[in-house]
Structure 1
C-alpha cells in the first residue's frame, strides 16, 4: 500500500541532534518601538501540482501579513503561480493550506511569476535593486535603516542550496553576500528569515554570525529532510478530491500559531518554541525535523508582531495545538513529489488508466534510480584515480582515519563501497562551525559539470550537492567530475528547463 511504502521510506532518514548557538556573547538590544515600516518578501521556490504546498504556504503567509496591517506595497510575492489555474485543481482559482481551511489565494498579488522566479531576481528584490529585476510589478524591498524586514521561503533545499522554479539554484554564499551588503548599506534595522527546506541549516551553518542584526529559523538542520503535511491518506487529511499535500509542517506550525496568538505579546522566541515542539513531533523527531535558530538571537526577545504585523492580536483560539501529535502525520519533502503518482495508480478505474499511471510512476522511480547510480559510479571512477586517493590520504592519513573521523561508518581499506557511500551520503569531517564547503565556486562548478554531462539536478537529485561538496573539500576539481560523470554522455536536459 502507498501509505506503508511511504512510511518505510521516511523512517530510513537519519536524524541528528539539534543545535542552538550560544547567546552569551550577544549584546542586549535597545528596547522600544521601531520607528520604521515592515517589509516582507515571500518566495515559493517550486512549481507543479506535486509541490502545491509551497505556494499554499506563501499565500497563507501573505494573508497573515495583510491581516497584521502590512500594506500591499510593502509585500513582494514570488511564486510560479501555476497551481490555482492547474487543469487538475478540483477548486479552480483557489488554494488551501489546511483541511477545511479558507482559500488563501484570494487577493494575493503575484509580483514575480513563472520564469521570473529565479535566484537572481530574488537577490535583486531583496537588495532593493530595481534595475536588475524583471517581473509583473517591479516591486522590490525598499527598506531603510529604521525598517524591519521579514523573509519567508518555502521549497526544496539541499546542502548549501535552495531551489527555484527557474534557473540555477540559490547558493548559501550568494544569499550571505546579499545580506551583508544590505546590512552594510543600512538597508534595515533588523531582519527575520523563516526558511522551509530540506537541509536548510546548511545555508547558515558557519556562515551567519550575530553581527548583522539578522535572525533566522530553519525547518531542518544541515543533514535532514523537512516534512510535508496535510496529505491524502494522513491525519488530518484534505478533502478526497485532493491528490497532493496542502502544507509543510514547519510552515503551517508558525502560520497557524500566528493565526491564533496575540503577536504583540508572543515573542519570536515563544513562536520558535511552539514551532520546534510541533515540527519535532513533541521532541521525538519521528517524521519530524530539528528547527534551528541562527544569527542575532537577541532579536527573538521581540514581539513576533514587529515582523508579522502589529494587528495580529489573536482570535481567542489556542496558539498551541492541544495535541501536536495529531498533526504529525507527515511525509518527507522528496517523497511527497511521488504521492500524486502513487494515488493515481490506486485511483485508476480501468486497465488503460492503470497502465498509464503505473508507467508515470515507474518513470519517476527510474529517473531517481538513474541519478543515484550515476553519482555513485562517478565517485567510484574518481576513487580509482591514484591522485584522488592521494588527496584523501593527505588529509586523513589513511582510509581508516577517515572512518574514525566520520564516527565509525564502516569504511574499510581501499576504495570500496563503504567509502563510496560515505562520500556520496555523509558530510566529511570538518572543524565545528565551518560552512558546508571551503570553496563555493568549486561547488557551483561541480553542479555545472554534472548538469553538462548528465542532466539537470531536479528536486530529488539536488541532494547530491553534499557529494559534490565532499569532492570539493577533498580537493577534486570540477573538471575531474565532468570527465567521469555519466561516462561523458551528452546532457539529456538543459539548464533553462524549469526545475519542478
Structure 2
C-alpha cells in the first residue's frame, strides 16, 4: 500500500501506529522512503493501555503511546514544536508509565526537523486544553499490557457480580473460556512450529524453532499469499486465533520466509490440534477479520 501511494506522488508522510508489536509494520522503512513513522512498541513487545480505573470506568480509557502524542499535540504549539521533539517527549513519557514497551521510529529522518503543523494543521484546530493535562502522569492510573486488558475486565465482571447470580456464572464462564483459549493458542503454535522447523533437516544453517518464536529472524514477509494461507491453515485445524492470537502473525510470516508452505503447516496442525483437544466453539466462531485460504 505504501509503495503504491508513494508512486502516486505524495510529498511526505507522517505515520503514528498504536498496536502491539507495531514496530514490525514499519521496520522496513529507510531513508529511501518519503515517510517518517513511529510506533508504540518494537516488533517483540506489546503496547500498553492507560487510564485504567476498574472501580470507576470498568475499562481502560486510552493507549499509552496514542494518549502521549495526542495530548502533546493538544497542549503545545504545533507551529513551534518539531516532529523530532515530540518523538523524544512521547518516548520518554511512555517509558515512565510502568511499561516495558519502547517507542520506535523508522523512515526518512530528515522529516523530524519539520514542524508538527506541516502534517497536523495549524494550531487552533483542536479544542483548547489545560497545560497541566499533559503533565499529569498517567501513572496515577493503572497501566497494563494490551494482552492483559480482556482478562482484567472479565475478572472485574466476576468480582462485581453478586455471588451465586446468573451474571456472575456467565462472567466466570467467559473468563474461563478466554484463559483456556489463550493456553490452547500458545501451546498449539509452539508445538506446530517445533514439529515443522525441527523436522526440516539436519542442516546446521537451518532456522531453529527458537529463532522463529523469539524473533531472531525478520518479522515481515512480502509473500502475502503464503502469509494468508498460513493463518487460514492454522484456523482450519485449530480454531480461530481471536485477537490474542494475532501476536503470532510474525511467526507465520517467518515460516513463509524460510520456505515453509501453508500446506506443511496444515499437516502439522492436523496432527497437533486433534478434534477432542479443541473446543468446538473455537472452530465454529466467526473468523471475520482473518483470511480465507487462497490455496483452497
Q: Same fold (TM over 0.5)?
A: yes
Of 5, 11, 15, 1:193 maps to: 15
TM-score normalised according to structure 2 size:
0.83
Unaligned runs of 5+ in 2: 291-296
Partner of residue 449, structure 1: 233
Instruction: Check 1:435–1:316 CA distance in 2 against 1; reply closer, same or farther (3 A cut).
Output: closer
* CA-CA distance at 1:211 after TM superposition: 2.6
Contact 2:74 2:129 in 1 (8 A): no
* CA-CA distance at 1:274 after TM superposition: 1.3
Of 462, 482, 499, 2:266 maps to: 482
Of 113, 121, 128, 1:301 maps to: 113
The CA RMSD measured in Å over matched residues stands at 2.8
Contact 1:221 1:289 in 2 (8 A): yes
Partner of residue 160, structure 2: 347
* CA-CA distance at 1:368 after TM superposition: 0.9
Query: Does 2:196 correspond to 1:382?
Result: yes
Instruction: Check 1:383–1:303 CA distance in 2 against 1; reply closer, same or farther (3 A cut).
Output: closer
Partner of residue 71, structure 2: 256
Q: Within 5 Å, give how 1:40-439 maps onto structure 2.
A: 178-186=1-9, 188-205=10-27, 207-233=28-54, 240-281=55-96, 286-312=98-124, 315=128, 317-318=130-131, 321-322=134-135, 324=137, 326=139, 329-352=142-165, 353-383=167-197, 385=199, 388-390=200-202, 393-396=203-206, 420=209, 422=210, 425-428=213-216, 430=217, 436-437=220-221, 439=223
Q: Provide, for residues 235-269 of structure 1, a one-character-per-residue CA deviation record: whole Å limited to 9, x for no partner.
A: xxxxx452111100000101111121111111111
* CA-CA distance at 1:192 after TM superposition: 1.0
| C-alpha distance in 2 between matches for 1:328 and 1:200 | 24
Q: Provide, for residues 349-398 of structure 1, a one-character-per-residue CA deviation record: whole Å limited to 9, x for no partner.
A: 2312332222211111111111112212323433564xx133xx2524xx
| C-alpha distance in 1 between matches for 2:285 and 2:162 | 36
Unaligned runs of 5+ in 1: 1-177, 234-239, 397-401, 403-418
| C-alpha distance in 2 between matches for 1:496 and 1:383 | 27
Q: Provide, for residues 323-360 of structure 1, a one-character-per-residue CA deviation record: whole Å limited to 9, x for no partner.
A: 64635741111111222201011101231233222221
Instruction: Check 1:454–1:426 CA distance in 2 against 1; reply closer, same or farther (3 A cut).
Output: same
Q: Identify, as 1 or 2, the structure richer in helix.
A: 2
Contact 1:196 1:219 in 2 (8 A): yes
Contact 2:24 2:219 in 1 (8 A): yes
Query: Does 2:272 correspond to 1:459?
Result: no
Equivalent residue of 2:162, what SS? coil
* CA-CA distance at 1:273 after TM superposition: 1.2
Partner of residue 294, structure 2: none
Contact 1:193 1:217 in 2 (8 A): yes
Equivalent residue of 1:389, what SS? coil
| C-alpha distance in 2 between matches for 1:440 and 1:498 | 15
* CA-CA distance at 1:296 after TM superposition: 1.2
Partner of residue 116, structure 1: none
| C-alpha distance in 2 between matches for 1:466 and 1:184 | 27
Q: Provide, for residues 265-294 of structure 1, a one-character-per-residue CA deviation record: whole Å limited to 9, x for no partner.
A: 111111111111111117xxx424111111
* CA-CA distance at 1:458 after TM superposition: 1.5
